Structure 1
Amino acid sequence: MLFSQHQNDVISVTSLNRMARDLLESGLPPMWIAGEISNLTLAASGHAYFSLKDERAQIRCVMFRNRLSGLGFRLQEGMQVELRGTVSLYEARGDYQINVDMMRSAGLGRLYEAFEQLKAKLAAEGLFDNRHKKALPGHPAAIGIVTSPAAAALRDVVTTLRRRMPSIPLILYPTPVQGDSAAAQIAAAIDAANLRQEVELLIVCRGGGSIEDLWAFNEEVVARAIARSTLPVISGVGHETDTTIADFVADHRAPTPTAAAELASPSREALQQGVDYAQRRLERALGRLLTDKSQQLDFLGRRLQHPGERLQRQRQLLQAQQQRLARASSQLLQARQRQLEQCQHRLQRTRPDLARWQQVLARRGDQLRQLIHRHWQQRQLVLARHQATLAAINPEAVLQRGYAIVQQQDGTVVRSAVQLRAGELLHIRLAEGETTAVVGQQQGRQSELPF
């Protein structure tokens, strides 16, 4: 960025320093710089002021309190570090300086690189997948703790567990949590807890520290041990800003050991509050039930009567019903008697003359018998005529006059000579009896037999 200035324009020192600061902050991006800390000053405000130098040059640096509190290690004179910051200018003195955002001990770049490589490898294998995460038991029968017996984290975890739920047994699986062989021993402790099956839950924890201090929990052997654990594992390593490979593999990650203990155990106070709340609800429900039942009892008590009073009322009701029945029976009898009298009057008015109708009936009977006799005689005459006609056309009568009926073997009546052939056996029916005959030589043709 270029600034143009006329010959007579004059600016203040403040404006110059502000322009220089803007140029530095806009022209140079944040970057990592390596060097040695010198002239270290830890101010009462919590900020750190120091110089970062190498063999040939140095530069002023400032790290403000909010960044310094999450550093994870204490700054010391002569410490070799790698820091990341923005190049700027302190306008009040015109000092060229670096505003530090992050810092790590020199050589930690290799550790971070190894951390990222192992993290990518295990993530590719699926060790971080949520489908592998196991649920925590709501009320574990026993809790195992994998940490150093001398660690402050152990005291924090035990104190928290004893405060929240002192009835849960605690079993310590001691192991170093820092040093060259710590990772292998942590993995062995996790395997031992799974082999012994004394607990339902494991807390793997240690207090805060530098990345080197926490490096055992970034080792692959520990990650593999947590992944193959059949017991649910809570990782409570370091402070909230610390993140390890164990945190990614564990079933649940807690920001601190104390938080891990709170996550592993139910709260006695919360359970007591739940019991108290349930008790209050039960008392209210029982109170409502007793009130309802008391009201119901009062209502039923008002309805309840002495058996003698109830019998007296039933006796009175029965007498009233008897009186009503007697009145109704008397009224019904009187009504039926009136109906009977009315029917008798009507019957007397409409009663027929039986003697006259008997004479008419006798006369009509004589007429019917005469009519039937004449009809029978007429039918007798018709029957005689039909019998005479039937006798005249009866084939049996024709046979009596010397005729015969000639039939072929299949029963066909022979009516013409053309039906016959020489040697054919015929059946002949006479007036008295039957016989057979054989057809001889035909002489001439006849259209029809004479019978």
Structure 2
Amino acid sequence: MFLTPTQPDVISVSTLNRMARDLLEAGLPAVWIGGEISNLTLAASGHAYFSLKDSSAQIRCVMFRQRLAAVGLRLAEGMQVELKGTVTLYEARGDYQINVATLRAAGLGRLFEAFERLKARLAAEGLFDETKKRPIPAHPRAIGIVTSPAAAALRDVVSTLKRRAPAIPVILYPTPVQGEGSAQKIADAIRVAGQRAEVDVLIVCRGGGSIEDLWAFNEEVVARAIATCPIPVVSGVGHETDFTICDFVADLRAPTPTGAAERVSPSREQMLSQVDLARRRLERALSRLMTDKTQQLDYLSRRLAHPGQKLALQAERLAATRRRLALLAEARLAGARRSLSVAEARLVRQRPRPSDTARELDRLGHSLRRAMLERLNRRRLALAQYEATLVALNPEAVLSRGYAIVEKADGSAAKSPGELRQGERVTLRLAEGQTQALIDHPDGAQQTLPF
């Protein structure tokens, strides 16, 4: 019996491919695989698509741009490689493929692993930090080269420098660039160049070769010598596709030794062109300046007069100035005289008269004494009124007329019989002393005195 589309056991192609991909990625770990590259396609995006095959089978592979750039290896048809990646499935087409993480030339796994380990460690220490890269001088006074005297790279560099900048001296720091102990000798040559400080820029170079041939430039001793060198260093090791540790540490990487020479030297033709351009600009500027100065000279020549005329004109101006100065001096003198007369009259009016002042002082003294006596009398009268009022309001005066004040036990004065209780002890305050009394109400009733 066939399943109908409505039954729950039916799945889509996308679901099947996704399940297969999950099984592949979960069931197979990342492995190293060796084989030959075929059907290579380098996409415009920078990704690489190829097949990895052996004598009896093949598998599709994809390596994305960032990972391809990190290995620094140019892929080619028929190249024998070793790659590490994850086995997966491209769902859109159902293609079984390998997602490549890293790749190396076949047979060089040990060297590539050592290269990657050192590269990672030095990068972690900051030796590749772009912020530490020093600028290459545009017009160096002298150029240093660290390479072998027998290297073809030296001839290429020297011929390029001779063609581009023949006036700049070149100093060679000879060293073997291949073989046993060459890495230490390269590092020593770099240190010697830094100690002598006789060049403005240093080229470390050699021609192309296999990874074994270039391995001296992948040694840590060379990398640290470049990092500590006080002179800017340009690396020109191998061909454009070759990458070494030296390239990452140097202040600038050139694709070839010839490229390194071009990077450190100004172009003679370009400089001559710039000089010619500057000469033409200078000629135009001088021509404009001469034209302007000629016109200015013509203008000034028309304004030029005979010295006698200038002297006569200056004499007239001097006489007119003298007359204006005399008139101004007279006007200022007259004004000063008028101001002096006004000040003198004002001073006369303000001059003090002792007799008038004495009479005024006597008058003011009499007025002050009268005012003080009147105010004192008013104060005395008011005081007498206040005294009479106090005497009238004094409780002692009331008591002297035979009245008494009834004080309760708490010291307050009783104001009505209702405030007193039967048998309560009270104090009677009289004019000449005080006495005690008990409250007695006949039949317990309050008594009201008739008045």
Q: TM-score, normalised by structure 2?
A: 0.51
Q: Which residue of 1 aligns with 2:236?
A: 236
Q: 1:264 to 1:301 in 2, by over 3 A?
A: same
What is the distance in 2 between the residues matched to 1:99 and 1:218? 28
Shift in CA distance, 257/20, structure 1 to aligned 2, threshold 3 Å: farther
Q: What's the counterpart of residue 35 of structure 2?
A: 37
| Maintained 8 Å contact 1:235/1:252 | yes
Structure 1 residue 289: deviation in Å? 1.4
Aligned CA distance change for structure 1 residues 23 and 181 (closer, same or farther; 3 Å): farther
Equivalent position amino acid for 1:71 in 2: L
**Equivalent position SS for 1:262:** helix
**Counterparts in 2 of 1:20 and 1:101: CA distance versus 1, 3 Å:** farther
CA contact (8 A) 2:39 2:77 kept: no
Offset of residue 294 of structure 1: 0.9
2:34 and 2:106 in contact (8 A); partners too: no
Aligned to 1:296: 296
Alpha-carbon distance between aligned partners in 2 of 1:137 and 1:89, rounded to the nearest angstrom: 51
Contact residue 35 and residue 52 of structure 1 kept, 8 A: no
User: Residue type matched to 1:35 in 2?
Assistant: I
Q: Any idea what SS the aligned residue of 2:187 has? A: helix
Deviations 1:368-408 (A, max 9, x none): xxxxxxxxxxxxxxxxxxxxxxxxxxxxxxxxxxxxxxxxx
1:190, 1:226 within 8 Å by CA — same for their partners in 2? yes
Q: Distance in 1 between matches of 2:95 and 2:129?
A: 50
Is structure 2 residue 180 aligned with structure 1 residue 187? no
8 Å CA contact retained: 1:52, 1:61: no
Letter in 1 for 2:217: F
Per-residue deviation, residues 136-181 of structure 1 (Å, max 9, x unmatched) = 4442232122234565644553444334322223334344434443
1:216 Cα shift?
Answer: 1.8
Q: CA deviation at 1:299?
A: 0.7
Partner of 2:82: 81
Aligned AA (2:222): V
**Which residue of structure 1 aligns with residue 166 of structure 2?**
166
SS in 2 for 1:274: helix
Q: How far apart are residue 81 of structure 1 and its match? A: 1.7
Q: Which runs of 5 or more residues in structure 2 are unaligned? A: 7-11, 44-48, 324-451
Instruction: Say which SS state the counterpart of residue 32 (structure 2) adopts.
Output: strand
> 1:219: Cα distance to partner?
0.9
Does residue 285 in structure 1 map to residue 285 in structure 2?
A: yes
Task: Please list, as runs of the form range in 1=range in 2, the aligned pairs for 1:239-318 lying within 5 A after superposition.
Answer: 243-305=243-305, 310=309
Q: How many residues align?
A: 303
Structure 1 unaligned blocks of 5 or more: 10-14, 326-451
Task: Give, in angstroms, the shift of residue 227 of structure 1.
Answer: 3.4
CA distance in 1, matches of 2:114, 2:63: 29
Distance 2:53 2:91 in 1: 14
Output one character per residue of 1:231-251: Cα deviation in whole Å (capped at 9) or x when no partner. Answer: 332223345665433234334
Q: CA deviation at 1:288?
A: 2.3
What RMSD in Å do the two structures reach over aligned CA positions?
A: 4.9
The CA distance in 1 between the partners of 2:115 and 2:107, in whole Å, is: 13
Query: Given that residues 204 and 236 in structure 1 are in contact (C-alpha distance below 8 angstroms), is that contact kept between their aligned partners in structure 2?
Result: yes
Q: SS at 2:231's partner residue?
A: coil
Report the secondary structure of 1:34's partner residue: strand
Alignment map for 1:43-82 (pairs within 5 Å): 49-52=51-54, 58-62=57-61, 71-72=73-74, 79=80, 81-82=82-83
Kept after mapping to 1: 8 A contact 2:234/2:253: yes
Q: 1:305 to 1:266 in 2, by over 3 A?
A: same
1: distance between equivalents of 2:154 and 2:30?
37
Q: 1:58-112 CA deviation, whole Å, 9 max, x = no partner?
A: 54245799869963476757x46234366446999x8744465742135755545
- 1:291 shift after superposition: 1.6
Match of 1:206 in 2: 206
3-state SS, counterpart of residue 177 of structure 1: coil
Alignment partners' CA distance in 1, 2:81 and 2:285: 70
Alpha-carbon distance change, 274 to 243 in structure 1, aligned in 2, over 3 angstroms: same
CA distance in 2, matches of 1:220, 1:27: 43
Judged with a 3 Å threshold, the aligned counterparts in structure 2 of structure 1 residues 216 and 284 are, in CA distance, closer, same or farther, namely same
In 2, are the aligned partners of 1:87 and 1:99 still within 8 Å (CA)?
A: yes
**Is 1:219 the equivalent of 2:219?**
yes
| Residue 290 (structure 1) shift | 1.0
Alpha-carbon distance in 1 for matches of 2:223, 2:42: 41
Residues 11-30 of structure 1, C-alpha deviations (whole Å, 9 max, x = no match): xxxx96x8766655566559
1:347-358 matches, within 5 Å, as: none
SS at match of 1:226: helix
Cα drift, residue 133 of structure 1: 5.5
Could you tell which deviates more after superposition, 196-205 or 131-140? 131-140
* Structure-2 separation of matches of 1:165 and 1:27: 64
Structure 2 CA distance for partners of 1:34 and 1:183, relative to 1, 3 Å: same
Residue type of the alignment partner of 1:227: A
Measure, in 2, the Cα distance between the counterparts of 1:207 and 1:252: 17
Question: Would the alpha carbon gap of residues 45 and 274 (structure 1) be closer, same or farther in structure 2, given more than 3 Å must change?
Answer: closer
CA separation of 1:124/1:90 partners in 2, compared to 1, >3 Å: closer, same or farther? Answer: closer
Aligned to 1:236, what secondary structure does the other structure show?
Answer: strand
In structure 2, relative to structure 1, the CA distance for the partners of 1:251 and 1:65 (3 Å cut) is: closer
Deviation at 1:209, TM superposition (A): 5.5
Q: What secondary structure sits across from 1:275 in the alignment? A: helix
Give me the whole-angstrom Cα distance separating, in 2, the residues matched to 1:87 and 1:211.
Answer: 32
- Check 1:80–1:244 CA distance in 2 against 1; reply closer, same or farther (3 A cut): closer
Q: 1:220 to 1:101 in 2, by over 3 A?
A: closer
Give the percent of matched residue pairs that are identical in Structure 1 and Structure 2. 54
Q: Post-superposition shift, 1:296?
A: 0.9
